[in-house]
């Protein structure tokens, strides 16, 4: 079984690359492993309603808890890894494991904790119950229950997810209301189609449900991602590339989406866009399969990709495909001896590779090897084998690497003075906020306030989070706290939007005027000025 935690060399490659782009001078030797106790396995909840048509809620419960707990700073094990573990144990995919089997699955996947539960229905009122199992201590939490009308299923599950997060980490400070607003404006029928599309057996059936999900809720990006995956599985690569492209670059699944988007472009011979997609992923997580695929796409365009193939092979020297690709690229560059060296290494790793055997034979027969007298210059040789693309995205590895990066960044920030640490956390929160990731944003703003309670920008950030989640009184209070500490544009604009919504045009105009006084060119402030003037209210 492919282990959930990727080889340390892969993570090291990511960290080294990240460090090269960082202004921090913190030594790499200070790096530590990811925080213990944060790797979670969430199982589908058991249906105790005696209504088979509600079976989908079980998988839906796991989906919401996975996404919310990921946002809360945990690393949840993907549905794919969970299904693999069940298959490895010879269990059906719909199997509801006993506690003993749950522990076996968790141990197989190295999970620190397992979240499982059930749901019942009394009339139109659904009750969901969850428990947390500490795998190492073999300790089970008391049941955590949440109920609500079936039509408010998402609120019930999001509230349960918030309480589970608090059970796992009592210091977790993100507001419950932020959880409730995370998927707004998602409707239950769209969510049901999304889940039914996820669990459908055939790609065509998945596509039908997922297309309906995005029709009902065009802003629900998990459904777009799942639809792109279904198109890809159905070998509709043009539709897959277009669908994956609907995800923003800030989306949590953006890297995986662009990996498969790159493959979709590659399979339709659009090598320019394929290379661009792989390059986007490599810039953030330069894992060897991504580097290799960027190199293959670049090579198909007639470019010298030796450096990229060398990077992939150095990161994972035991992968024979990387050795093979480097040998082909070196031969194309006219470095016959280098190509022989790499193909010999490839055959040590994979002795039965007939294509590599044939290539080795050609390389070692001088009469069959064309040599360009201009050493170092590439030669045209249509007889060279094609470099090999990596077709499988290792979601676990990518997410583990991203989690490691977050942990390393948190350790780096912990070494900074409080005010500087708060400023860095606020910037991260603003990036999350701009990407629509309010849970992640609030977590950063709360951490900033823990570092520096006098951070006006952190309070302004929280004001925006509260505004987004619909807690308007709390938004006003946070904005006022921010301005009491220091004048700033974001807090003034929060107050302006709140006043505008109440039709208090005069006070809204005053807030906009204050914002423009601080930043005359601020686009948001200028936009609000125009909006007020269109309603007959002049901004002083």
- The string of DSSP codes covering 166-235 is HHH-TT----HHHHHTTTTT--HHHHHHHHHHHH-SSHHHHHHHHHHHHHH-TT-HHHHHHHHHHHHHTT
Shared-domain flag, residues 151 and 211: no
- CB-based contact 313:329 (threshold 8 Å): no
Q: Find the DSSP H helices in 352-503.
A: 354-363, 395-414, 418-434, 438-451, 456-469, 472-485, 489-501
Among 359, 309, 358, 304, which Cα is nearest to 333's? 304
Residue 351 in tokens:
């002795």
- CB-based contact 422:485 (threshold 8 Å): no
Asked, for residue 282, whether it belongs to a domain, the answer is yes
Shared-domain flag, residues 172 and 162: yes
Shared-domain flag, residues 234 and 99: no
Write the CB contacts of 477 (distance below 8 Å, at least 6 apart in sequence). none
Residue 428 in tokens:
């991260």
Write the CB contacts of 220 (distance below 8 Å, at least 6 apart in sequence). 183, 186, 190, 191, 194, 213, 214
SS3 of 244, please? Answer: helix
Shared-domain flag, residues 62 and 99: yes
| Residue 384 CB neighbour total at 10 angstroms | 16
Structure letter (DSSP) for residue 528: H
Paired with 134 in beta bridges are 113, 139
Asked, for residue 145, whether it belongs to a domain, the answer is yes
Shared-domain flag, residues 36 and 171: yes
| Residue 340 CB neighbour total at 10 angstroms | 18
Of the residues 370, 394, 418, the one at which a domain ends: 394
Rounded CA separation 96/202 (Å): 22
| CATH number of the domain bearing residue 235 | 1.25.40.10
pLDDT for 13 equals 36
pLDDT for 9 equals 34
Asked, for residue 5, whether it belongs to a domain, the answer is no
Shared-domain flag, residues 293 and 385: yes
Residues with pLDDT less than 50, the chain:
1-36, 373, 376-377
pTM as predicted: 0.82
* Phi, psi for residue 132 in degrees, rounded to 5: -115, 125
Asked, for residue 6, whether it belongs to a domain, the answer is no
Shared-domain flag, residues 379 and 410: no
Among 267, 482, 271, 476, which Cα is nearest to 391's? 267
pLDDT for 285 equals 82
Burial 422-434 (b: 16+ CB within 10 A, else e): bbbbbebbbebbe
pLDDT for 95 equals 73
pLDDT for 96 equals 77
SS3 of 157, please? Answer: helix
pLDDT for 374 equals 52
**For residue 415, what are the domain limits?**
395-534
Asked, for residue 133, whether it belongs to a domain, the answer is yes
Rounded CA separation 373/363 (Å): 17
Of the residues 269, 294, 328, the one at which a domain ends: 269
pLDDT for 435 equals 83
Q: Cα 305–302–279 angle (5° rounding)?
A: 50
Shared-domain flag, residues 163 and 191: no
Alpha-carbon torsion angle 155, 195, 73, 22, nearest 10: -130
Asked, for residue 17, whether it belongs to a domain, the answer is no
Rounded CA separation 89/114 (Å): 17
Number of domains in the chain: 4
Write the CB contacts of 127 (distance below 8 Å, at least 6 apart in sequence). 119, 120, 121, 145, 146, 147
Rg of the chain (C-alpha set): 27
Shared-domain flag, residues 46 and 113: yes
Using the Cα atoms of residue 465, residue 470, residue 471 and residue 477 in order, give the sign of their dihedral: positive
Rounded CA separation 514/502 (Å): 19
Shared-domain flag, residues 464 and 525: yes
- CB-based contact 109:77 (threshold 8 Å): yes
pLDDT for 145 equals 97
- CB-based contact 156:147 (threshold 8 Å): yes
Residue 515 in tokens:
């914002």
- CB-based contact 452:418 (threshold 8 Å): yes
- CB-based contact 226:242 (threshold 8 Å): no
- CB-based contact 456:483 (threshold 8 Å): yes
Asked, for residue 477, whether it belongs to a domain, the answer is yes
Shared-domain flag, residues 317 and 332: yes
Q: How many residues does the chain have?
A: 540
Of the residues 359, 394, 429, the one at which a domain ends: 394
Shared-domain flag, residues 239 and 166: no
Asked, for residue 16, whether it belongs to a domain, the answer is no
Alpha-carbon torsion angle 187, 435, 468, 174, nearest 10: 100
- CB-based contact 26:415 (threshold 8 Å): yes
| CATH number of the domain bearing residue 88 | 3.40.50.10610
Rounded CA separation 401/9 (Å): 11
């Amino acid at each position: 079984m492919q282990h959930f935690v990727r080889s340390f060399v892969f993570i090291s490659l990511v960290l080294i690359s990240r460090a090269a782009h960082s202004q921090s001078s913190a030594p790499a030797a200070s790096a530590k492993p990811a925080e213990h106790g944060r790797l979670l396995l969430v199982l589908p909840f058991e249906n105790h309603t005696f209504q088979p048509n509600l079976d989908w809620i079980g998988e839906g419960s796991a989906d919401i808890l996975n996404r919310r707990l990921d946002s809360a700073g945990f690393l949840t094990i993907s549905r794919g890894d969970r299904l693999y573990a069940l298959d490895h144990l010879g269990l059906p995919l719909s199997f509801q494991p006993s506690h003993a089997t749950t522990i076996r699955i968790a141990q197989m996947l190295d999970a620190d904790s397992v979240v499982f539960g059930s749901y019942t229905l009394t009339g139109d009122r659904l009750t969901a119950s969850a428990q947390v199992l500490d795998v190492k201590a073999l300790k089970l939490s008391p049941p955590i229950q949440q109920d609500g009308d079936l039509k408010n299923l998402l609120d019930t599950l999001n509230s349960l997810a918030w309480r589970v997060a608090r059970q796992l980490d009592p210091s977790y400070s993100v507001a419950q209301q932020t959880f409730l607003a995370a998927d707004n404006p998602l409707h239950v029928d769209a969510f049901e189609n999304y889940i039914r599309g996820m669990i459908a057996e055939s790609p065509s059936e998945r596509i039908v449900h997922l297309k309906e999900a995005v029709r009902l809720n065009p802003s629900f990006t998990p459904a777009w991602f799942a639809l792109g995956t279904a198109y890809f599985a159905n070998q509709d690569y043009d539709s897959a590339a277009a669908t994956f492209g609907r995800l923003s670059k800030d989306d949590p699944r953006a890297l995986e989406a662009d990996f498969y988007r790159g493959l979709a472009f590659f399979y339709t011979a659009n090598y320019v866009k394929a290379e661009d997609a792989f390059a986007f992923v490599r810039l953030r997580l330069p894992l060897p399969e991504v580097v290799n695929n960027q190199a293959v796409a670049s090579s198909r365009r007639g470019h010298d990709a030796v450096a990229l193939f060398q990077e992939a092979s150095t990161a994972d020297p035991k992968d024979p495909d990387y050795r093979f690709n480097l040998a082909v690229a070196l031969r194309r560059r006219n470095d016959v001896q280098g190509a022989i060296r790499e193909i010999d290494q490839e055959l040590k790793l994979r002795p039965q590779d007939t294509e590599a055997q044939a290539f080795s034979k050609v390389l070692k027969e001088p009469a069959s090897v064309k040599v360009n007298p201009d050493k170092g210059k590439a030669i045209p040789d249509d007889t060279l084998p094609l470099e090999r693309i990596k077709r499988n995205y290792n979601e676990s590895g990518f997410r583990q690497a991203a989690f490691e990066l977050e942990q390393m960044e948190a350790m780096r920030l912990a070494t900074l003075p409080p005010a500087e640490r708060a400023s860095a956390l606020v910037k991260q929160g603003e990036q999350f906020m701009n990407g629509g990731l309010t849970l992640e944003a609030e977590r950063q703003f709360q951490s900033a306030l823990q570092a520096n309670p006098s951070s006006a920008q952190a309070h302004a950030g929280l004001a925006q989070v509260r505004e987004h989640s619909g807690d308007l009184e709390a938004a006003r209070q946070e904005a006022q706290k921010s301005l009491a500490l220091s004048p700033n544009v974001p807090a003034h604009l929060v107050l302006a939007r709140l006043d505008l919504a109440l039709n208090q045009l005069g006070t809204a105009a005053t807030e906009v005027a204050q914002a423009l006084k601080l930043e005359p060119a601020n686009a948001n402030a200028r936009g609000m000025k125009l909006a007020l003037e269109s309603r007959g209210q002049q901004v002083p």
